[in-house]
Amino acid sequence: MTIKKLFSDFKPFSHGIAKVLGHLEADIMEIIWHKDKVSVREVYELLVLEREIAYTTVMTIMGRLADKNILKKESKGNAYLYSPILSKEEFTGKMVGNVIDGLMEDYADAAFAHFMKRIGKEDSGQIEKLEELIRQYKIQEENND
């Protein structure tokens, strides 16, 4: 599954990576990013402390995350170990990039206007950071020509 396909189910009112993954998938990914390489049993034992959940549910979700190319699955004896294909930062960067690319493709003017309005409302210092990023981008572009 490609990254674009993965992010096709954007849920803007969910929190964090649950905006593109299910809530259970997001919780599992948070555990795996924290632990790096884990078995289904290890993830299950952490999740069962917070919610009622079946071991087979965790196993199924982790298998689906591997099918989506979010997790790498390797055999270790009778079990599998799972590790993230992308770091949390890389995953987040790709998620944000895909969402913004999708908006820019069809709604660039509205996206820019909302972005600027939101930045100004949140923190005027953010506008200065954006201006600095634009300056750096222009310098890079000049150096690439």
pTM of the model: 0.77
Under the banding of pLDDT at 50, 70 and 90, the label for residue 42 is very high
Question: Is 71 exposed, middle or buried, given 0-12, 13-18 or 19+ CB atoms closer than 10 A?
Answer: buried
Confidence (pLDDT) at 30: 96
Task: Judge whether 59 and 82 are in contact, CB under 8 Å.
Answer: no
Confidence (pLDDT) at 71: 96
* Position 46 pLDDT exceeds 70: yes
* Position 3 pLDDT exceeds 70: no
Q: Give the DSSP per-residue string, 115-135.
A: HHHHHHHH-HHHHHHHHHHHH
| % of the chain surpassing 70 pLDDT | 94
Question: Is 46 exposed, middle or buried, given 0-12, 13-18 or 19+ CB atoms closer than 10 A?
Answer: middle
Confidence (pLDDT) at 20: 84
3-85: CATH topology:
Arc Repressor Mutant, subunit A (1.10.10)
* DSSP state letter for 51: S
Alpha carbon distance 43, 100 (integer Å): 32
* Position 1 pLDDT exceeds 90: no
Extents of the domains making up the chain: 3-85, 89-144
Task: Judge whether 82 and 38 are in contact, CB under 8 Å.
Answer: yes
pLDDT tens per residue, range 81-97: 999 999 999 999 998 88
Over residues 108-120, the mean pLDDT reads: 86
Confidence (pLDDT) at 58: 97
Minimum mean pLDDT range among 39-43, 52-56, 117-121: 117-121
